[in-house]
Amino acid sequence: MAILVTGGCGYIGSHTAAVLTEAGREVVIVDSLVNSKALVVNRIEALTGRRPAFYKADVRNEQALAEVFETHPIEGVIHFAGLKAVGESVAQPLAYYSANIEGAAALLRVMQRQGVRRLVFSSSATVYGDTDIIPYTEDLPLQPMNPYGRTKAAVEWMLTDLYHSQPGWSISILRYFNPVGAHPSGLIGEDPAGIPNNLMPYITQVAVGRRPELGVFGGDYPTPDGSCVRDYIHVMDLAEGHLAALGLIEGSHGLFVHNLGSGRGVSVLEMVKAFSEATGQAVPYSIKPRRAGDLPAYWADASKALRDMNWRTHRSLADICRDAYEFQRQNPKGYVETT
């Protein structure tokens, strides 16, 4: 039996596909390659000794998806495929509503027709929006502040309605905080298109000389050093969280919601310092004006994941920095087709 990983050539999807393969699972990847590269499949094979089946397809293409289900004995799905940049979602809301909501609906229709009822959904802490209650717990109301967050919340509501209409489904909703780092081999990691929207790939690109300096947006927040505080989680810990969630839904029917985070807040400037200490690479930076929509601080309460799935983070801030840098050092221009 196989696990379908949509968006499996992307950052989190590729690490999860590697973890699943190393755990002995058969993996089938569907990815449109809009924001990823097919050569990632080669890297997963190099890491694990086994090559996942790969199909280039958009999850909105129900015929293409159905053919994958008819070719492979799919027993469960981990759904990553979608668009994920907050700023881009504000500029292009229709693209986000189409890719993220229509894509999820198409996938669920195909799963329903094929009789597959196990799903792990890649959600986000952005669904919580602006709240003064820290750390974030799973019972907080959903009040997303941007189109990206609203698409994630909409899919969560869709899954909730589906489960209550057909209780035979077993669904895990995972709300990530800030994924960072890379596989320790340096073979797979985060390779954003264009200028990075996230902190760590920007830091690593500065470290290898692709960019002159890091811009720190805001130095006057009500935090210990004035920079924003976030909950950073190593992508390998996050990938292992998906394996744990898969085990949970395979063992019981239900609708499960879990935060995946470290449970610790780390400031931007603290991360810059940790990176320099872990790698020996200086990261020049300058303080820029605050960025609209940024919250001063938030982090996860991930105790529910520990209780329900026996999952917690194991990798340190130094591990995050070393692994992220190793990927960037080996791939200074990101994934290139000649590799």
Tens digit of pLDDT for each residue in 283-325?
Answer: 999 999 998 878 899 999 999 999 999 999 999 999 999 999 9
**How is 60-93 classified by DSSP, letter by letter?**
T-HHHHHHHHHHS-EEEEEE--S---HHHHHH-H
Residue 337 has pLDDT above 80, yes or no: no
Helix, strand, or coil (residue 119): strand
Q: Tell me the fold of 2-181+231-261+300-311.
A: Rossmann fold (3.40.50)
State the sign of the Cα–Cα–Cα–Cα dihedral 216, 7, 257, 262: negative
Share of the chain above pLDDT 90, in %: 94
Cβ-Cβ contacts under 8 Å for 64 (sequence gap 6 or more): 30, 55, 57, 58
Catalytic residue IDs: 148
Query: What are 176's strand-pairing partners?
Result: 124, 260
- The β-bridge relationship of strands 2-6 and 214-217 is unpaired
Q: For residue range 39-48, what is the model confidence (pLDDT) as tens digits? A: 999 999 999 9
pTM score of the predicted model = 0.96
339, pLDDT greater than 80: no
Decide the pairing of beta strands 118-124 and 214-217.
unpaired
The whole-number average pLDDT for the span 325-334 is: 96
Given a cut of 70, whether residue 270 has pLDDT beyond it is yes
